[in-house]
């Protein structure tokens, strides 16, 4: 039994943030969520779908034009290419001043329907593209490794984050949870979250870097744990950071996770702060992922 879905975090579980476990029995109605897929698919796939829809619509109307035995004025009788390119011009409301034009009631009705479809097609395509490019996104990176090391005399889980945009993220917050297998007294194995309390879970202004720390004391779910015990429990530390982006004036979020093999015990994150040749404090991001 599991009360969450999980990228490969060990034990056959996918790691958090990926597609999750294979499923069976879900209704096959994914087409109803087509708006979500159009917003989340790769950009090349989005343009491919839009191009395919454009060609399909014009192909359909080209066939409808060919059904009229009289044919379009100025077009070759029964020629699909002429009908298709006339459809493209009609859908795009283009007027080149050429002689190809509808001449029967049937053709004018089809033209009217195509112009109507073209208006909606333009609105939908514009709306989808705008929704894709206007979504606020976070440019936050996390250290490749987390470490467990002494801090103020106590073992502490430490990792760091950096705002790659170098703008302000206001009222930034971070939540960290330990995801692991637990067995109840009834013998039921469940996959559950346990919150790890941060020494500082909120930053009023997140500008450059943030060192996130969790003290491993007797109240911590990590108390007494080792790399081997975490591996046995198929554990994963899940991190979610969010805040208000000052540029977009919208909430953004970023997430990552650390599996037991990405948690290093007894080492420290490298110091990335220094002084440059002009005596100014600087940050060396080349050492962002390094350990000491």
- Cα separation of 14 and 117, whole Å? 43
- What is each CA distance from 86 to 17, 55, 107, in whole angstroms? 47, 13, 11
Structure token digits, residue 75: 């077009």
Question: How high is the pLDDT of residue 51?
Answer: 94
Question: How high is the pLDDT of residue 36?
Answer: 84
Burial of 208 (0-12, 13-18, 19+ CB in 10 A): middle
Closest CA to 267 of 168, 135, 145, 164: 145
Question: How high is the pLDDT of residue 133?
Answer: 86
Question: How high is the pLDDT of residue 99?
Answer: 62
Q: At what angle do helices 105-134 and 43-66 cross, to 10 degrees?
A: 180
Average pLDDT, 10 consecutive residues per value, the chain (292 residues): 43 63 67 82 91 93 85 77 88 74 84 90 90 86 94 94 88 94 85 92 90 94 92 92 88 92 93 82 88 89
Give the torsion through C-alpha atoms of 114, 111, 74, 98, to 10 deg: -70
Structure token digits, residue 195: 């919150």
- Cα separation of 243 and 285, whole Å? 22
Question: How high is the pLDDT of residue 30?
Answer: 65
Structure token digits, residue 4: 């969450």
- pTM (predicted TM-score): 0.74
Question: How high is the pLDDT of residue 172?
Answer: 93
Beta-bridge mates of residue 150: 155
Count of CA atoms in the C-beta half-sphere (13 A) of 222? 29
Beta-bridge mates of residue 239: 176, 256
Helices (H), the chain: 34-40, 43-66, 80-91, 105-134, 227-232
pLDDT tens per residue across span 103-142: 788 888 998 999 999 898 889 999 999 988 888 888 899 9
CA angle 64, 66, 71 (to 5 degrees): 125
């Amino acid at each position: 039994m599991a009360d969450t879905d999980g990228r490969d975090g060990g034990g056959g579980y996918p790691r958090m943030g990926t597609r999750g476990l294979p499923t069976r029995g879900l209704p096959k109605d994914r087409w109803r969520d087509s708006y979500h897929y159009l917003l989340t698919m790769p950009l090349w796939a989005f343009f491919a779908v839009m191009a395919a829809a454009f060609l399909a619509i014009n192909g359909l109307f080209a066939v409808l034009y060919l059904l009229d035995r009289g044919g379009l004025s100025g077009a070759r009788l029964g020629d699909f290419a002429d009908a298709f390119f006339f459809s493209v011009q009609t859908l795009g409301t283009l007027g080149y001043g050429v002689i190809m034009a509808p001449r029967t009631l049937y053709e004018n009705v089809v033209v009217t329907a195509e112009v109507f479809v073209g208006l909606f097609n333009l609105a939908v395509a514009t709306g989808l593209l705008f929704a894709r490019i206007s979504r606020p996104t976070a440019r936050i990176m996390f250290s490749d490794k987390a470490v467990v090391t002494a801090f103020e005399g106590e073992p502490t889980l430490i990792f760091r984050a950096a705002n790659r945009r170098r703008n302000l993220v206001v009222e930034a917050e971070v939540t960290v949870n330990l995801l692991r297998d637990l067995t109840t007294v009834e013998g039921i194995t469940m996959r559950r979250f346990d919150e790890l309390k941060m020494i500082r879970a909120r930053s009023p202004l997140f500008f450059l870097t943030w060192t996130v720390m969790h003290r491993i004391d007797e109240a911590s779910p990590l108390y007494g744990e080792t790399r081997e015990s975490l591996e046995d429990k198929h554990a994963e530390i899940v991190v979610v950071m969010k805040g208000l982006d000052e540029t977009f004036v919208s909430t953004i979020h970023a997430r990552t996770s650390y599996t037991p093999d990405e948690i290093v015990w007894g080492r420290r994150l490298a110091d990335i702060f220094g002084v440059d040749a002009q005596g100014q404090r600087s940050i060396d991001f080349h050492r962002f992922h390094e350990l000491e």
